[in-house]
Structure 1
Amino acid sequence: MSAVDESSVASQRAPEAARTRDRRLKYVRRIAVAIWAAVIVYRTVTEGFAFNRELVLLYIAAGLLAASIGQVRRMLYVIRDWLPFALILLAYDLSRGAADMVGRPTLWEWPVEADRWLFFGTVPTVWLQEQLKQGQPPWWEVVLSCVYMSFFILPYVVAGVLWLRDRAEWKTFVRLFVGLNFAGLAIYALVPAAPPWAAARCTPADVEGGPAYAPCMFRSARGVPDGGVLGAMQSSQDGANPWIERIVGRGWGNLNMHTASALLDAGQASVNLVAAIPSLHAGMTAAVAAFLWHRVHGAWRPVLAAYVLLMAFTLVYTAEHYVIDILLGWALAAAVIVILHRYEKWRRARASRSADRSTEMVPLYERPDDPVVAAEPEPAAAPEPVAKPEPVMKPERLRRDVVAELDSR
């Protein structure tokens, strides 16, 4: 075989070897993702749901690394690209003492009065627990517990899917997530506010002066005179406790997931307890729904709307937030979305102007030829009159004239 033939065979084998390697890596990635999913399911069954956001972030990063095996640069991007989410979680932890450092008094009574004004003297949290709370959690409280916990999981899942499918969309979502969370954290430091469950445990005398972490917050609402700052329940269902309770984790009891409920309680105790205004639970839910609204099939839009409303109901019924907190959370989400939309529009316009300036700086002889512009057709000139042709003499008559002229000579 000649050297030319050997070179031709080698050039044909190289693409085939590359395709074989790609197929093997694809199988490896699928196996790694399957192992990752099995580990997540096993830990969920044995240890409960990952209510710790740091653990959720670790789960997602591990899954993305498994899906990027064989792509070294992409694996490095996992660490770099998910750093903003880690910074958000760190900021949450640091925000616990922000109210004390800034020195702003905590709002205890204003949110209650705002809800009373909105609902003509009735506090929605008190009314809902009077009407719906039972001694044992009904089946639908399982749904409420899942909806509440989706706040700690869904944004990261959406970000993970976008990271794999569309990097431009992922960047847009990250800006929304980071902007909304940092705006909320800044407001928490400037305007600390106690949630309904804390107001039910404290009397006006206990919170005089607006303390951020009054000792009364860590006791039961049972026996607190007149229902504390929140107000007393006037009635209750059979077997239900006649005071306002923080019941967002009760639904897990129906699934025998008491460990999950305990983890939720531990997680709630470690976060900022006076971060009620605005409700980031409501704001982030609305922001995710708005982000996905034009990116999903139309059949999913009622589900997105129902999700936002169900989250609001969950927060009010379980004494996590006032209605005013939810309205302010929605308003903050809308403001951040509008600002980011204008920023994107300004950035595109700036890029367009920059491209135009770059074109103007190119010498004329290096610029591409302008496309030929079709000229408008000129009006047609009037046709000139055609002269009539002179009559042609017939050949017979011409011959006779010539013969006559010759005879005369």
Structure 2
Amino acid sequence: MSEVMGVLRGRVRNRLVRVPCYRCGARCRTPRRVSPARHRPWGRLGAAAPHPEGGERQQPVQTEPTHDQASVDAPPADRVTERETRKPARVAAMVVWSLLVVAWSATIGIPNDAITVLITLWLGTIAWNVEAPWRRHLGFLRDWSIPALLLTVYFFSRGWIDEFDITVHWTMPIDVDRWMFGGTTPTETLQHAWCGDPCELDQPTQWFEVLFTTVYATHFLVGLVLAVLLWAWNRSEWLVWMRRYIGLNFGGLLIYMAYPMAPPWMASEEGYMGAVTRLTSRGWGDLGVQRANVVLNGVGNPVAAMPSLHAGTAILVACYGIWRLRSPLRWLLLVYPALMCVALVYYAEHYVIDLIAGGALAVLVMVLASAWERRQARREAASPEPVDVAVG
């Protein structure tokens, strides 16, 4: 009996109860998980509000769950272990995980492919809930199996596209950028102003190049880090983000297949535009940090420049954060895509027209995903509710 009471005391904080309606005092039809300390089913100050359909207001009566009801409604016994990881154990596990990530990045390189990033983040979730049962940790593999497969297909497909005999476009983005900026591409203007004329890769590193390279490298991490945080915090919100993130990547893949286009540094090497240098790696040169693809080494497509998914992902993150957050500070998220776009143009990775296309694709994905979710919500609201049929 003492063991049963101990379990009940540990579960009462998250029990399932039928909450009286704060308007009419009737029992709610759908049980929901509440915390007794924060549960205020009768509105503010305990006053019963008028029922929307009229009639007299009834004073609600609070009921306590019976022994049998509490036993049925209580979560499984291992939920305490899942929810309550001791702070010393969590701190120790996170320190070990952080040291391993730093050692891996210093010796092999910072991972920039979906598989390595997901494995690293999975180990981070294990360290955070190190005392949780293993079936909870294996749930990560179950939930992420399909997204990981899709992202791996996307990563490989970018390299396969280069094997197709499709005409590469060289001059269109140059002409468009020159038309928008008075006869000179922004890449040439920025490199001449900030790097020198000529701009050489072996020149001393500027302080802002360290910032630009850091921002550029976050592209390989930010989307999946956000996804794993949402997975750990709110699975429904995780699905909302993953629809947009995967939709953006595969939308870009389709455009890569239909319209392969060379970036500015490659066009300069082939003589289609003035001399510009690919400066992406120079920002971290003095720090001794090298980006390395540790699992899918060598998979890539140099002519997958239209649209810019570096810009598209940064804009998608900013749009998603502004949409879902309520703090006035959420508008500061726009600094991230702004820095990313400047870095991409300065490093000769993308034209401005690529950035515009990437941003347009991100906005289109947000709009289409939201429209699909609203349509699904209307369908669920219009579907008839199940009817309980008494048997016997």
Shared fold by TM > 0.5? yes
| Aligned counterpart in structure 1 of residue 284 of structure 2, from 234, 252, 259 | 252
Partner of residue 378, structure 1: none
Distance 1:346 1:92 in 2: 31
- 1:33 lines up with 2:65 in the alignment: no
Partner of residue 166, structure 2: 104
Moved over 6 A (4+): 16-21, 264-268
| Aligned counterpart in structure 1 of residue 125 of structure 2, from 59, 64, 77 | 64
| Aligned counterpart in structure 2 of residue 89 of structure 1, from 139, 149, 152 | 152
**3-state SS, counterpart of residue 321 of structure 1:** coil
The letter of the residue matching 2:316 is A
Structure 1 residue 77, shift from structure 2 partner = 2.2
Q: TM-score, normalised by structure 1?
A: 0.69
* 1:358-392 residue CA offsets vs partner (Å, 9 max, x unmatched): 46xx59x99xxxxxxxxxxxxxxxxxxxxxxxxxx
- 1:122 lines up with 2:184 in the alignment: yes
The letter of the residue matching 2:339 is L
Structure 1 residue 19, shift from structure 2 partner = 9.4
| Aligned counterpart in structure 1 of residue 304 of structure 2, from 246, 265, 275 | 275
Structure 1 residue 306, shift from structure 2 partner = 1.2
Partner of residue 188, structure 1: 256
Change in CA separation of 1:250 and 1:342 when aligned onto 2, cut-off 3 Å = same
Structure 1 residue 269, shift from structure 2 partner = 5.5
- 1:305 lines up with 2:305 in the alignment: no
The letter of the residue matching 1:328 is A
Structure 2: gaps spanning 5 or more residues: 11-76, 197-202
Distance 2:364 2:6 in 1: 58
- 1:113 lines up with 2:175 in the alignment: yes
Partner of residue 385, structure 1: none
**3-state SS, counterpart of residue 112 of structure 1:** helix
Structure 1: gaps spanning 5 or more residues: 1-7, 203-227, 233-242, 367-409
Distance 1:33 1:15 in 2: 31
Distance 1:352 1:178 in 2: 27
Residue pair 2:108, 2:294 contacting (<8 A) in 1 also = no
Distance 2:90 2:100 in 1: 15
Structure 1 residue 297, shift from structure 2 partner = 5.5
Change in CA separation of 1:10 and 1:350 when aligned onto 2, cut-off 3 Å = closer
Partner of residue 4, structure 2: 11
Partner of residue 407, structure 1: none
| Aligned counterpart in structure 2 of residue 166 of structure 1, from 221, 229, 234 | 234
Distance 1:110 1:318 in 2: 19
* 1:229-252 residue CA offsets vs partner (Å, 9 max, x unmatched): 02x2xxxxxxxxxx3111011010
- 1:50 lines up with 2:118 in the alignment: no
**3-state SS, counterpart of residue 106 of structure 1:** coil
- 1:346 lines up with 2:346 in the alignment: no
Residue pair 2:115, 2:148 contacting (<8 A) in 1 also = no
Identity between Structure 1 and Structure 2 (%): 33
Distance 1:43 1:77 in 2: 25
The letter of the residue matching 2:205 is P
Change in CA separation of 1:266 and 1:9 when aligned onto 2, cut-off 3 Å = closer
**Equivalent residue runs for 1:256-405 within 5 Å:** 256-257=288-289, 260=290, 263=292, 270-296=299-325, 298-354=327-383, 357-358=384-385, 362=387
Distance 1:265 1:30 in 2: 28
Change in CA separation of 1:16 and 1:147 when aligned onto 2, cut-off 3 Å = same
Partner of residue 380, structure 1: none
Kindly tell me the number of residue pairs found equivalent between the two proteins: 314
Change in CA separation of 1:352 and 1:34 when aligned onto 2, cut-off 3 Å = same
Distance 2:228 2:187 in 1: 35
Structure 1 residue 75, shift from structure 2 partner = 2.0
Residue pair 1:194, 1:275 contacting (<8 A) in 2 also = yes
The letter of the residue matching 1:247 is L
Distance 1:147 1:252 in 2: 11
Calculate the aligned-residue CA RMSD, in Å.
2.9
Change in CA separation of 1:165 and 1:124 when aligned onto 2, cut-off 3 Å = same
Residue pair 2:116, 2:294 contacting (<8 A) in 1 also = no
Residue pair 1:60, 1:160 contacting (<8 A) in 2 also = yes
The letter of the residue matching 2:172 is W
**3-state SS, counterpart of residue 137 of structure 2:** helix
- 1:175 lines up with 2:218 in the alignment: no
Distance 1:334 1:319 in 2: 24
Residue pair 1:65, 1:78 contacting (<8 A) in 2 also = no
Residue pair 1:85, 1:178 contacting (<8 A) in 2 also = no
Higher share of residues assigned helix? 1
The letter of the residue matching 2:150 is L
Partner of residue 272, structure 2: 229
* 1:245-303 residue CA offsets vs partner (Å, 9 max, x unmatched): 1101101023233xx15x37998963111100000011111001111114346353343
**3-state SS, counterpart of residue 352 of structure 1:** helix
Change in CA separation of 1:251 and 1:20 when aligned onto 2, cut-off 3 Å = closer
The letter of the residue matching 1:249 is S
Higher Cα Rg, which structure: 1
* 1:150-171 residue CA offsets vs partner (Å, 9 max, x unmatched): 1001111111111111111111
**3-state SS, counterpart of residue 153 of structure 1:** helix
Distance 1:71 1:19 in 2: 8
Distance 1:113 1:265 in 2: 37
**3-state SS, counterpart of residue 301 of structure 2:** coil
